[in-house]
Each structure stands twice: as structure tokens, then as C-alpha cells.
Amino acid sequence: MDVLHEAIRERGSVVSDHILKVDNFLNHQVDTQLMTMIGKEFAKRFQGQSVTKVLTLESSGIAPSFMAANTLNVPLVFARKKKALTGSEDVYTSRVYSYTKQELNQVIVSKEYLAEGDRVLIIDDFLAHGNAALGLTEVVEEAGATVVGVGAVIEKAFQEGRMQLEMEGYQVESLARIESLSNGEVTFVDEVVTNK
């Protein structure tokens, strides 16, 4: 997705060999025009698969999945990392370790909003080690629902997230695949030039 590659290159910054900061347009300040294009692209890639719910994880997943759910005309559910106090309800839960934040989070979804028969598209901002996405697939399976696939805005293709998800049989669609963040530079997968 050219417009996303451009945003990453011009408005992102490489913090280290494994950390890309995109809080200019994705996970602190949000470019809602770009998020709209991203949401529509996800919808396009999973159209015809009878998606009934889009599922993401608070907070950074909400903006990029908003227009996907809107375009597919299905509800968006964002999993919580903490149980709400107003909720006495039953929940599905799994546990997710965040390498970036170095903390163990829960993934919590009320049983009211995922049911057997649901066909769920999972969307998140980043796909790296795959832990968040796998945590989300666990709650979907716990509900007896079906994971239609996993969409990520940015994939760190040098980490094992995609492999983990594909091993479980899930379709993975990333809108920008990063091959490397070495030497302070972003290299996308489709830009790798091999000189043999």
C-alpha cells in the first residue's frame, strides 16, 4: 500500500533495529484519512468471506479497524486489557505478553459480543511476534467462533508473527511488510534488492 509506505518512511522514525515509532499517524496522533484508506483495504482483502465481526485490541487497534468494520457493515469489538468495573458479565480471556511494553496483558471480551457462528476478522496495528493476534484468536476459538483471518497495518517480517499465525492455518494480510530496520532505515519486503 503505497500511501502507507510513504507515511512510514516520511512520518515514522526508527528507534532501534526492532522498534519503529509511528505515533505521528497511527498510535498516538491518528491520520483518520489514512486510517480510512487502511480500513477499506482490509475490507477489500477479506470481502466475500462473510465476516460478521471485526475484533481488535485496545487502544491502538481501534483507529485502523474502525473503517474496516464500517465498510463491511459489521460491529467492531475491541478487546480490553483490563476488566471493566461496570461489567459483572462473563468474559472470554487470554494472556498476551507485549515485548514492546514489556508487560503481560489480558485480552478480555464479553461473552455477549462473540458467539458460535461468528466469522471474525482480527485487525491490529502491528504484527511482530504475533502474541497479540494469537491472544485474539484464542478468545475467538474459546467462543466457538471462526477466525476468518488476521489483518495487520504494519508487519515486522523479520519476526515470527506471520509464521506462528500461518502455522495455525490463518490467512494473514499486512498492508506494509518491513524486512529490516537496520542502520536506522526502513526497508520493505518488496524493496529488497538481491545482487547475486
Interface with a copy of itself (CB under 8 A) = 15, 19, 21, 23-24, 28-33, 35-36, 58-59, 62-63, 66-67, 69-70, 73, 75-78, 80, 84-87, 100-102, 109-110, 112-113
CB nearer to a copy of itself: give 147 or 172: 147
User: At a CB cut-off of 8 Å and minimum separation 6, what does 92 contact?
Assistant: 108, 109, 110, 111, 114, 139, 142, 143
Flag whether 20 is marked binding. yes
Q: Cell for 91?
A: 468474559
Flag whether 131 is marked binding. yes
CB nearer to a copy of itself: give 30 or 168: 30
CB nearer to a copy of itself: give 125 or 165: 125
User: At a CB cut-off of 8 Å and minimum separation 6, what does 130 contact?
Assistant: 159, 160, 161, 162, 163, 164, 165
Distance in Å, CB of 95 to a copy of itself, minimum: 18
> Beta-carbon neighbour count of residue 176 at 10 Å?
25
Distance in Å, CB of 174 to a copy of itself, minimum: 19
Give residue for cell 470481502.
47
Distance in Å, CB of 77 to a copy of itself, minimum: 5
Flag whether 130 is marked binding. yes
Flag whether 5 is marked binding. no
Nearest-CA neighbor of 137 among 117, 160, 165, 111?
Answer: 165
Give residue for cell 526492532.
18
CB nearer to a copy of itself: give 6 or 191: 6
CB nearer to a copy of itself: give 121 or 165: 121
Whole-angstrom distance, CA of residue 57 vs CA of residue 32: 18
User: At a CB cut-off of 8 Å and minimum separation 6, what does 168 contact?
Assistant: 134, 137
Flag whether 128 is marked binding. yes
Flag whether 143 is marked binding. no
Q: Quick check: 57 and 81 in contact, CB under 8 A?
A: yes
Distance in Å, CB of 100 to a copy of itself, minimum: 6
Distance in Å, CB of 160 to a copy of itself, minimum: 20
Q: Which positions make up the binding site?
A: 20, 27, 128-132, 156
Q: Which positions make up the binding site for xanthine?
A: 20, 27, 156
